[in-house]
């Protein structure tokens, strides 16, 4: 008997109280691969991709998804998405290389580096990767290197949104994007220097669960792009509206209805394209979180339990494994995967082994008193910004990653060993 345990993630269910992902018992995965362990569901990622593509293409056929590799850069995940048809949003040169390795063609990789060095710019030009510049000064530096035939600019449309302060990427305080008064200058100068083909881009915030936000910000972008296209006589090949699509982390949060989002975005887009005579450019969404977040879990084992002023459950995973709680105060739902039927009858703090007080996953959370040393706790929604934010802090080795599909598990990244920790180091020898 299987019962879903989290929202509509049917791949995550329980059989007789034991948590399973795509038909494999989590405690079995822990035994086989060790912990801490990231586990991703192949079919969930695939479904997330097609749900989004189908929602948009029902209203606008020229729609493309570019996967934001920074969310989860495991090459097996990028390849999975590439095989389904995704392009790539790359934030740095290594992400361009990962995208190429996954088979994504150059013209479907958009390089949106932030505060690019000359080396970054030269690399993109030399490797024919499409560049999305986020500052006017970078255009001036690019002119000294080489002006490509195609160029896009990341615009700060003056508004941004997220449930988490650190995830608002536009507006007056944002370090990202070209501010409105400079946008015309950027495109005018690029055209004068010989750029023939253009795109326009924004990325205003992450994990947005408000379905009405997306059409508002699209209207804002198009009200910048439209008059500009007319004035400069340019045709935008694509309108890239960034990622931002949210997922529910907390039990009380509602899922984002992407059909509703797609419908309202396309309605607004079509109206603006018509108003400004902009033709039918490709519409690009470049989500990270929406595609991989709810497909992944982090499995950790209980290492030690302390009874002090509070009960502390100490895990073999910590902020070095899953940084979001320490970095953003982010919530991750925790399940006792050995027995989901056990009553959550004990108030605990769930912590890691790192020498920082912020190494705390949950405060005063209700978990089963049955939780014992060696049992597993599972963090949901760990597929995005989990492993990709992990570190070796406190000399900890990074965990392994496993992809599961229809009852089979495949190791897609080995657990680091001590040699990985000291790789490339040597004792200093001074003469
Ligand atoms: C330029 C760009 N595109 C896409 C994304 C993906 O965002 P999300 O995970 O919210 O979809 C990010 C995230 O930081 C980004 O910076």
pTM > 0.85: yes or no: yes
Query: CB atoms < 10 A from the CB of 286, how many?
Result: 27
Mean pLDDT along residues 256-271: 98
The pLDDT score that the predictor gives to residue 159 is 87
User: Which atom of ligand 1 is the closest one to the Cα of 132?
Assistant: 1
Mean pLDDT along residues 83-90: 98
Closest CA to 337 of 6, 22, 26: 26
The pLDDT score that the predictor gives to residue 8 is 87
Closest CA to 242 of 110, 413, 403, 79: 110
Mean pLDDT along residues 56-82: 98
Query: Does 242 contact ligand 1 (Cβ within 6 A)?
Result: yes
Query: Does 68 contact ligand 1 (Cβ within 6 A)?
Result: yes
Query: Does 240 contact ligand 1 (Cβ within 6 A)?
Result: no
Query: Does 290 contact ligand 1 (Cβ within 6 A)?
Result: yes
Mean pLDDT computed over every residue of the chain: 96
Closest CA to 7 of 209, 197, 191: 209
Closest CA to 14 of 24, 6, 4: 4
pLDDT bin (cut points 50, 70, 90) of residue 165 is: confident
Q: Is the pLDDT of residue 2 over 70?
A: no
Q: How far is the CA of 18 from the centre of ligand 1 (A)?
A: 34
Query: Does 285 contact ligand 1 (Cβ within 6 A)?
Result: no
Q: Would you say 12 and 41 are in contact if contact means Cβ atoms under 8 Å apart? A: yes
Q: How far is the CA of 54 from the centre of ligand 1 (A)?
A: 20
pLDDT bin (cut points 50, 70, 90) of residue 135 is: very high
User: Which atom of ligand 1 is the closest one to the Cα of 291?
Assistant: 11
Query: Does 301 contact ligand 1 (Cβ within 6 A)?
Result: no
Q: Is the pLDDT of residue 1 over 60?
A: no
CA 168 to chain centre: 14
Query: Does 132 contact ligand 1 (Cβ within 6 A)?
Result: no
Q: How far is the CA of 69 from the centre of ligand 1 (A)?
A: 9
pLDDT, one tens digit per residue, over 168-220 is 999 998 999 999 999 999 999 999 999 999 999 999 999 999 999 999 999 99
pLDDT, one tens digit per residue, over 341-390 is 999 999 999 999 999 999 999 999 999 999 999 999 999 999 999 999 99
Contacts of 126 (CB under 8 A, 6+ apart): none
Query: Does 95 contact ligand 1 (Cβ within 6 A)?
Result: no
Query: Does 287 contact ligand 1 (Cβ within 6 A)?
Result: yes
Q: How far is the CA of 285 from the centre of ligand 1 (A)?
A: 10
Residue nearest to atom 15 of ligand 1 (CA): 203
| Domains of the chain (ranges, CATH numbers) | 2-41+296-422 (2.40.37.10), 112-287 (3.20.20.10)
Mean pLDDT along residues 19-47: 97
The pLDDT score that the predictor gives to residue 235 is 96
Rounded-to-integer distance, Cα 255 and Cα 246, Å: 8
pLDDT, one tens digit per residue, over 35-48 is 999 999 999 999 99
Q: How far is the CA of 407 from the centre of ligand 1 (A)?
A: 31
For 290-380, where are the E strands, in sequence order? Answer: 296-307, 311-315, 334-336, 346-351, 360-367, 376-379
Query: Does 286 contact ligand 1 (Cβ within 6 A)?
Result: yes
Helices (H), 297-371: 324-328
Question: Which candidate in 92, 293, 344, 355 is catalytic?
Answer: 355
User: Which atom of ligand 1 is the closest one to the Cα of 206?
Assistant: 10
Mean pLDDT along residues 79-108: 98
The pLDDT score that the predictor gives to residue 31 is 97
Residue nearest to atom 5 of ligand 1 (CA): 243
pLDDT bin (cut points 50, 70, 90) of residue 329 is: very high
Segment among 29-33, 156-160, 401-405 with least mean pLDDT: 156-160
Q: What percent of the chain has pLDDT over 70?
A: 100
Mean pLDDT along residues 46-55: 98
Residue nearest to atom 14 of ligand 1 (CA): 206
User: In three state form, how does the secondary structure of 258-300 look?
Assistant: HHHHHHHHHHHHHHHHHHCCCCCCEEEECCCHHHHHHHEEEEE
Annotated catalytic residue 410: no
pLDDT, one tens digit per residue, over 380-407 is 999 999 999 999 999 999 999 999 999 9
Mean pLDDT along residues 294-314: 98
pLDDT bin (cut points 50, 70, 90) of residue 27 is: very high
Q: How far is the CA of 203 from the centre of ligand 1 (A)?
A: 7
pLDDT, one tens digit per residue, over 218-250 is 999 999 999 999 999 999 999 999 999 999 999
Length of the chain: 431
Query: Does 383 contact ligand 1 (Cβ within 6 A)?
Result: no
User: Which atom of ligand 1 is the closest one to the Cα of 289?
Assistant: 9
Q: How far is the CA of 408 from the centre of ligand 1 (A)?
A: 30
The pLDDT score that the predictor gives to residue 344 is 97
Which of 68, 135, 157, 202 gets mutated to test ligand 1 (max ligand atoms within 8 A of its CB)? 68
């Amino acid at each position: 008997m299987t019962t879903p345990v989290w929202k509509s993630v049917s791949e995550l269910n329980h059989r007789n109280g034991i948590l399973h992902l795509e038909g494999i018992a989590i405690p079995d995965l822990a035994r086989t691969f060790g912990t801490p362990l990231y586990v991703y569901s192949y079919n969930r990622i695939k479904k997330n991709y097609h749900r989004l593509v189908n929602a948009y293409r029902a209203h606008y056929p020229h729609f493309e998804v570019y996967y934001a590799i920074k969310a989860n850069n495991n090459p097996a995940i990028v390849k999975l998405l590439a095989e389904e048809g995704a392009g790539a949003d790359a934030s740095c040169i290594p992400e361009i290389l990962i995208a190429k390795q996954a088979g994504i063609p150059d013209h479907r990789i958009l390089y949106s580096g932030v505060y690019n060095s000359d080396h970054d710019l030269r690399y993109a030009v030399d490797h024919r990767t499409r560049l999305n510049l986020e500052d006017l000064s970078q255009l001036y530096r690019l002119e000294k290197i080489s002006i490509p035939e195609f160029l896009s600019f990341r615009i700060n449309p003056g508004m941004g949104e997220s449930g988490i302060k650190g995830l608002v990427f536009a507006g007056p305080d944002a370090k990202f994007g070209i501010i409105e008064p400079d946008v015309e200058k950027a495109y005018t100068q690029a055209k004068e220097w010989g750029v023939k083909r253009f795109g326009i881009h924004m990325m205003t915030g992450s994990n947005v669960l408000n379905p009405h936000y997306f059409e508002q910000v699209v209207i804002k972008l198009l009200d910048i792009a439209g008059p500009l296209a007319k004035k400069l006589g340019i045709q935008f090949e694509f309108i890239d509206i960034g990622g931002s699509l949210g997922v529910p982390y907390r039990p009380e949060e509602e899922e984002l209805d992407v059909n509703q989002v797609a419908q309202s975005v396309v309605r607004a887009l079509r109206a603006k394209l018509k108003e400004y005579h902009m033709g039918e450019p490709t519409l690009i969404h470049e989500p990270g979180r929406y595609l991989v977040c709810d497909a992944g879990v982090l499995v950790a084992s209980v290492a030690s339990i302390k009874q002090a002023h509070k009960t502390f459950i100490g895990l073999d995973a910590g902020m070095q494994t899953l940084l979001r709680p320490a970095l953003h105060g982010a919530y991750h739902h925790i399940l006792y995967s050995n027995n989901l039927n056990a009553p959550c009858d004990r108030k605990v703090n769930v912590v890691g082994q790192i020498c920082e007080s912020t190494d705390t996953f949950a405060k005063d959370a209700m978990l089963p008193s049955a939780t014992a040393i060696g049992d597993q706790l599972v963090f949901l929604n760990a597929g995005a910004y989990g492993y990709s934010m992990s570190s070796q802090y406190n000399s900890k080795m990074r965990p392994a990653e496993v992809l599961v599909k229809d009852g089979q598990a495949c190791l897609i990244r080995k657990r680091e060993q001590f040699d990985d920790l000291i790789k490339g180091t040597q004792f200093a020898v001074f003469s």
